[in-house]
Structure 1
Amino acid sequence: MDERTLREIYYVPLNWVAKPSPVSMMSAYNRINGKYASEYKKGFTFCATSWFDGVMYWTGKRCATGDRRHSGCDIEFPYNGDNYEKLLTITMRRNIDEQIDACASRVVDLAYRCKDMQKGKE
């Protein structure tokens, strides 16, 4: 599927969901151009640079390659030791420290945003 189709058809509902500025969104389970949505870097990059300023997360054990952090997925539920080991292997093979730092930064921002929301701030 080409990027134009993704932007004009598939990303539109995500844009609607992002308008009220949620603090997080869950990645889809389906595949996009052969990659699971939680591992589709172009999609995360488009959403993050276009209209979503929050944490992306994934729930589920299936279809795990350990490549989600590299794509832009910030949190994975539930903890999966196999995925953690794969992430360590990927980190050792290539330098993805910047991506992991960016994920960690978004998760810390999420904690502060939730704390502010408890105090009644937006």
Structure 2
Amino acid sequence: MFSSWAGARPRTWEPSPSEHKKWVEVFKACDEDNKGYLSREDFKVAVAMLFGYKPSKIEADSVMSSVNPTTSGILLEEFLNTIRKKKEAQLYQNEIRHIFTAFDVHYHGFLTLEDFKRAFKQVAPKLPERTVLDVFR
């Protein structure tokens, strides 16, 4: 039912200057030897500092496999781009969760057709019921 929404690409998001500065500071703090890049372990520490969790081996492998093979790690610009994408995805997931919560007025943890109809009646009262049914399915 939400599969088409969940698969939609999040809007492009740019960090504020202060957030960008924080990311650069975290990069520099994790680049202890001033190598100019973050190793796999440095990257994991940086993500933990910024997002509060240690990335999985799969996530770290994915990021590290996408970096320039001539360097031994992730450069600042690559790091900033990766972190921006992670933040963008986090904001998008929060938005989806907020919308779901607004629809789930009885706090069931799932949406019924009646929940859907009620929500659409409030936000789009002229929308044909057939469209609501199609979206629900």
TM-score by length of 2: 0.29
More strand by share: 1
Please identify the structure whose Cα radius of gyration is greater: 2
Higher relative contact order (CA 8 A, sep 6+): 2
